[in-house]
Structure formats: C-alpha cells, structure tokens
Copies of this chain bind each other. A is one copy, B any other.
Amino acid sequence: MAEKKESENANNVIKAKLGEINLDKLTQKKVDLIERNLDEITDGDRLILRKIVQQRALKIYWGTAITGRPHIAYFLPILKLRDFLEAGCEVTVMFADIHGFLDNLKAPISKIESRYTYYKKLITTMLGRSLRNGTGLGGIRFIKGSDFELTPKYTFDVYRMASYTTERDCKRAGADVVKQSENALLSSMLYPNMQALDEEYLGVDAQFGGSDQRKIFMHAKTFLPKLGYKKRIHLMNPMMPGLNSEKMSSSDEMSKIDMLDTKQQISKKIGKCFCEEGNTDTGVLTIFEYILFNYFGSVKVSGVEYSTFEMLKDEFGKKVIHPGDLKSACSYYVNEMVAPVRDVMMEETEMIEAAYGKISRQ
C-alpha cells in the first residue's frame, strides 16, 4: 500500500516536471513526430525524450529478428522510422540474425546469411519507398546482430546478466515475443537478455518496437542498471491484427499479405476477408486504419475521397460504402504500396529462393 502510494507520488512528480518543460517550436514538432501514432510511452520516458531532443538528435534503434518473410504489417514500424528520420533522429536498424535462431530456430542456422540478405534488401526498399519530403536514408545505420553480439565484452555481459536473471524473469520477459513452451529451449531464455544488452551496445537513447515487446522492454529497464548501464526510453507501436485472426503472422499464409504477393494474390486474400455490410469489425478496415491512411494520407473509395480513417469507418458503418467497393479500394492501395517493393525484390529470385525456397506466385 505504502509502495503504491510512493510510486503514485513519483508519477505525479514526473507529470509536474513534464508540464514545466517549454519546448521551442522546432523541438515541439520533432517531439510530436516521434511520439505520434504510438501505442504507449511512459511519462518518465517522455520527460527524458524531451530533454534529449532539446539538445541533440535522439538515437533510436529498431531491431527485427530474422525469421519468416516480412508482410505488410512491417509498414507499421517502417512508417514510424520515417517519422523518426523526419524528426532528425539517428536511426539504427538492427537485423537480429542471432535472435532469429534463438527463437526456436525460426531462422535455421544454415539460412541465417541468406535470410539476412533478404531482410536487408526488403527493409531498405520498403523504407526507401516510404520516405517523403526529401528525407533520405542518410540518417540511418544498418547493423547485423552478429556484428557485435559475439565480441568478448558483449559475451561477458551475457554471462553477467545471466547471473542476475532467473529462468522466470527471462520466460516472463519473452512471453509475448518468443515461442513459449513448458520446457523451453535455453536459447529462448537468452533472447530477452540479449535484446536488453543490445540497447547498451548500440549506444542508443531509445528502443522502438511493437507493444508485444513491452515485457522485454521492462526487463531491460530493470536489469541494465544492475549491470551499471543506464535504462533506455521505450517507444511502443500498436500491433496490427491479422486479416482474419488475432495477429498478422508470417507462419499463417492467409492471415498476412506478403511483400512478394502478386496483384492477384493481394486481391484474392482481401477478397476472402470477412467483411459484412455495415459491420466495422473487419480486417479490411484494419488495413486502412493501421497502414493505408498513414502511407497515402487520404484514400478514395468509389470516387469519394476520405482524409481520415474515422470518416471512412463511419460511412462504412452507415452502409454508405458497400463491402465490395471497400475491398477493391483496399486491394488497389495495398498493391500500389507493395508493387514498387515487389518489383525490386523479384529481380533477385535466386536470393529469395536461397532464403525461403521457391515461392508461390498464384
């Protein structure tokens, strides 16, 4: 009880401090860009973020474990990276190759190199195609986990951290990210500790990721200080649901639209979505909400332009828009977004097949 009160008091102090900060116009614009569309950022983190952005470029990293083929939900973090770059941040994109096989061998060790090549090309292309307003890829650094995660200093820290964290700590931290089982592989328990250490070794102020990363982020906040390292800011993106299921998953073919899908495949998958007249609980609206409005700014359905998702949702709810028209607009925009990336990727079928084997084109 006393503890709860104490923590409430601490939060009030932070809130008060946040209110006291007056940002100049440019800094405010940067902060707004960094924070917009996020699912969560704590007041404490908001405070530190403002203090840094007042003084210099925020250093932020996004890691993506190399596993299955990325799908269109990857545009969510990509569009946040665009925000970060436009806000003048120093952005590190980390291709977590070792994490890829630590998580239940989702990337088998023999495939690591070819999947890394695929991920790097794909993410770079997606991001490059998303940038606007003359923002280029100059503010970005790409790095591979194995570039620094095998050094003696890092390795020693893995052992140090292992001597502070119990099996329960590590399982709890990985619960929403790493494949869980009653008798877990040791690798899955190393995963969260390494993701925490990455923050220190990448020399960043903040880590960005989906809100499924929350437990790993809290784990990092708890244990990095025990090793004498500072805790980082954590910026959490909302999670995009799958087309017909809870999560857009690389392993469930019909729940996701792959970045290599043809125009026909995209139409087919969106066509099969549950989408009832006037019922706004549909994966088709989800794609508009999470990605298309953010990517295109506004969209046209049956010749009518919508500048916000709420307007579109409202009209669909009122049965002004027919499901068939919503689906065909959705397919059109998704293809518009995917096509330039797909075109670049499909020039290198050998690379794709090395990483994932032959892909289906129908």
Contacts and interface: CB of A to CB of B under 8 A. Distances in A.
Nearest to A109: B160
A241 to B, nearest CB: 30
Interface in A142-171: 146, 149-152, 155-156, 158-170
Contact of A186 (B151, B152, B162, B185): B162
A187 interface: yes
Given A150-B155, A151-B152, A152-B151, A102 B163 contact: yes
Contacts of A159: 98, 101-102, 187, 190
A13 interface: no
Q: Assembly of this chain: how many copies?
A: 2
A120 to B, nearest CB: 20
Nearest to A105: B163
Given A98-B159, A155-B155, A160-B109, A166 B190 contact: no
A193 interface: yes
B189 A168 contact: no
Contacts of A163: 101-102, 104-105, 109, 185-187
A184 interface: yes
A186 B160 contact: no
A151 B169 CA distance: 27
Given A159-B102, A190-B162, A167 B184 contact: yes
A183 interface: yes
A183 B166 contact: yes
A185 B162 contact: yes
B155 A184 contact: no
Contacts of A185: 162-167
B152 A168 contact: no
A183 B160 contact: no
A162 B191 CA distance: 10
Contacts of A104: 163
Contacts of A166: 183-186
Given A150-B155, A151-B152, A102 B162 contact: yes
Contacts of A170: 186
A35 to B, nearest CB: 34
A51 B184 CA distance: 39
Given A155-B155, A167-B167, A162 B187 contact: yes
30 contacts: A98-B156, A98-B159, A102-B159, A102-B162, A104-B163, A105-B163, A109-B160, A109-B163, A150-B152, A150-B155, A151-B152, A155-B158, A159-B187, A159-B190, A162-B187, A163-B185, A163-B186, A163-B187, A164-B185, A166-B184, A166-B185, A167-B167, A167-B184, A167-B185, A167-B186, A167-B189, A169-B186, A170-B186, A186-B189, A186-B193
List the 5 closest pairs (A to B, CB-CB), nearest first. A150-B152, A162-B187, A162-B186, A163-B187, A155-B155
Given A101-B163, A162-B185, A189-B189, 5 more contacts: A162-B187, A162-B189, A163-B187, A167-B186, A186-B190
Interface of A: 98, 101-102, 104-105, 109, 146, 149-152, 155-156, 158-170, 183-187, 189-190, 193
